[in-house]
Amino acid sequence: MPQVAFLDYASTSHNDLDLTRLRQACGQLHLWPATQADKLLAHIGEAEIVISNKVLLNADTLIALKDQLKLICVAATGTNNIDLHTAKQLGIPVCNVRHYANRSVAEHCLSLIFALARQLPAYHQAVQNQAWQHSQHFCLLDYPITEVAGKTLGIIGYGNLGQATAELAAAVGMQILVAERLDAPQVRPGRVSLNELLTRADFISLHCPLTEQTQAFINAERLQQMKPTAFLLNTARGGLICEADLLAALQTGQIAGAALDVLSLEPPTEANPLLQTTLPNLLITPHIAWASRPARQTLIDQLADIIRSFQANHLINRVN
């Protein structure tokens, strides 16, 4: 049975998950709450299998451990933190977990849509600032409230998460537009061009991967294409949006609002422009769309399945 080191276990669990299946798949399981760069090799120790959610495993680390590492498991779907090319050259398989958070992310997206439509951040802020307490009436009507039924949701990135979000949105009466891929030679039936989606959608939800092509592709030019009554949501990767351009669009009323579960650097620093001001039309959550307890338990159990499949010589979910 292999030795396994989980380098950032606390990013997946708040001591609220059942580790039985994962422990049974491992000879020894070392759970590190977090791993900084200067502790990386020490935390890996003699482990043959490494589990990492967001800890960086670059070429130098992989080369140094090439005779030891037999498998890398990414405790997420995205694998940006692993040098996949070097791992493949060294014969180290890398596997990820998949489809574990479809429902969790979709429900979070719908909650953000309702929060924006009902202006919940703005009204919460108004109550905190005692606007309701000093009102001449029983209610506040300072911020326009809309209903989502009949509104158009534009999905950019129509994989499992985009599809799950579209399904829930359709259930509450929203109309769905799906953007064609940026690199597609032509627009397929059932999809629309990105430009058309930007101009038509009342809500736009990002679900695409972060690549060279999508890096900061939601910029000033594309924000200008959106309706002034439209809202932007991002539960994918923070780097998809030029944050300075988004801040300007929110401050000038170019778009109605935004809800973000991800930022370009995580954890963020005070230098992030979106965190330097308090806006009633901006809602930020700390990368928790994926993090329902059932989703996190599925993630842990799938890691166990990957390790068992490796031991049985029929590896699942390999990405390199």
DSSP 320: -
Tens of pLDDT, residue by residue, the chain (320 residues) = 899 999 999 999 999 999 999 999 999 999 999 999 999 999 999 999 999 999 999 999 999 999 999 999 999 998 989 999 999 999 999 999 999 999 999 999 999 999 999 999 999 999 999 999 999 999 999 999 999 999 999 999 999 999 999 999 999 999 999 999 998 999 999 999 999 999 999 999 999 999 999 999 999 999 999 999 999 999 999 999 999 999 999 999 999 999 999 999 999 999 999 999 889 999 999 999 999 999 999 999 999 999 999 999 999 999 99
User: How many residues appear in the chain?
Assistant: 320
The domain at 102-284 falls in which architecture?
Answer: 3-Layer(aba) Sandwich (3.40)
pLDDT for the residue numbered 1: 85
Catalytic residue IDs: 237, 266, 287
> In which residue ranges of the chain is CATH 3.40.50.720 found?
3-100+293-311, 102-284
Nearest by Cα to 41 from 15, 89, 12, 5: 5
Helix 102-117 vs helix 160-171: crossing angle, to nearest 10: 50
54, two tokens: 């967001």
Q: Find out if CATH 3.40.50.720 is the number for domain 3-100+293-311.
A: yes
Count the helices and strands in the chain (H runs, E runs).
11, 11
Tokens 């300007």 map to which residue?
A: 248
Nearest by Cα to 57 from 42, 76, 41: 41
- Asked if residue 228 lies in contact with residue 176, where contact means CB atoms within 8 angstroms, the answer is no
| Residue 148 CB partners (closer than 8 Å, separation 6+) | 113, 114, 117, 169, 172, 173, 174, 203
- Asked if residue 224 lies in contact with residue 255, where contact means CB atoms within 8 angstroms, the answer is no
* 266-311 pLDDT per residue, tens: 999 999 999 998 899 999 999 999 999 999 999 999 999 999 999 9
